[in-house]
Amino acid sequence: MEQQPQPHVTPQPVQPLQPTAPQSADLPALPAQVKPVRIAAVGDIHVRETDKGKWVDFFKAASDQADVLLLCGDLTDHGYAKEAEVLAEEMRACTIPVVCVLGNHDHDKDEHEQIRSCLLRDNVHFLDGDAVVIKNVGFAGVKGFGGGFDKYMLSMFGEVSNKAFVQEAVDEALKLEAGLSRLDTEHPEVKKIALLHYAPIKATVEGEPEAIHPFLGCSRLAEPLNRQNVLACFHGHAHIGTLEGETSKGVKVFNVAKPILQKAGFAMPFFLFDV
């Protein structure tokens, strides 16, 4: 390949340092005031084709009140790309960066790739085992999967189909670990936030019928949160679960499924969290 000519730079003489004004020894240096980064988070917005115009106020309010918006999966109701087209139009009202993961509903019609590409733009980030740093906060995310919690978690045993079900949750946990590790390696100074659709702990699905808990999340997803010193994790999926919980190592977990926020009386269905 032909080499581009390099611009010529004339060396400049080194200027002697000018003495600065003497500092008062009586005044201690004040610590710099660092403004927290405010996160707005919601899951399960389940946008439909008939929702045109219904989400503009939501995105305007989130943009006014927060620095980053997290969308924790089930962005569409039936998993149609057409629904994502409506959402993409509504999201024009959003002026802050958006970080998303997909949910099980977004996968239902096998149009999840179209949904992702329809919503992707400069300030919209989809996470699936990767990470992004925004305003000095690190976000890692995956969809997650089911499998149950604690001593009732499904184990890798029996039929091939059962093992495949378990493997899906193992793979999602490994992807989350990879995203969080990448933040640790490349941005060790940032605080880490995790984004999921499925729940990593039982506490935030409490309220749902116990019989369906294994389909709402899996304890395997909590292992990377504990190991990687995550500050907080946001998820959805369990629409009638519980807003707040924590992992065995004290990582805060918030189930921000829209119906939970509405039931809790949030004027606008997003949860605010300062980092």
Binding site for Fe ion (CB under 5 A): 44, 74, 103-104, 237
Which residue number, 125 or 143, has a Cβ lying nearer to Fe ion? 143
| Least separation in angstroms between CB 20 and Fe ion | 60
Which residue number, 134 or 216, has a Cβ lying nearer to Fe ion? 216
Which residue number, 205 or 230, has a Cβ lying nearer to Fe ion? 205
| Least separation in angstroms between CB 59 and Fe ion | 19
Which residue number, 116 or 237, has a Cβ lying nearer to Fe ion? 237
Which residue number, 183 or 216, has a Cβ lying nearer to Fe ion? 216
Chain CA centroid to CA 79, Å = 19
Q: Are strands 38-42 and 271-274 parallel, antiparallel or unpaired?
A: antiparallel
DSSP string of the chain, one letter each residue: -PPPPPPP-PPPPPPPPPPPPPPPTTSPPPPPPPPPPEEEEEB---B-GGGTTSSHHHHHHHHHH-SEEEEES--BSS--HHHHHHHHHHGGG--S-EEEE--HHHHTTS-HHHHHHHH-BTTEEE-SSEEEEETTEEEEE------B-GGG---S-SSHHHHHHHHHHHHHHHHHHHHHHHHHHH-TTSEEEEE-SSBSSSGGGBTB-GGGGGGTBBGGGHHHHHHTT-SEEEE---TTS-SEEE-TT--EEEE-BHHHHHHTT-SSS-EEEE-
| Least separation in angstroms between CB 144 and Fe ion | 10
| Least separation in angstroms between CB 94 and Fe ion | 20
| Least separation in angstroms between CB 197 and Fe ion | 6
Which residue number, 179 or 241, has a Cβ lying nearer to Fe ion? 241
271 CB contacts (<8 Å, ≥6 apart)?
40, 41, 42, 234, 243, 254, 256, 261
Which residue number, 175 or 258, has a Cβ lying nearer to Fe ion? 258
| Least separation in angstroms between CB 3 and Fe ion | 55
| Least separation in angstroms between CB 251 and Fe ion | 21
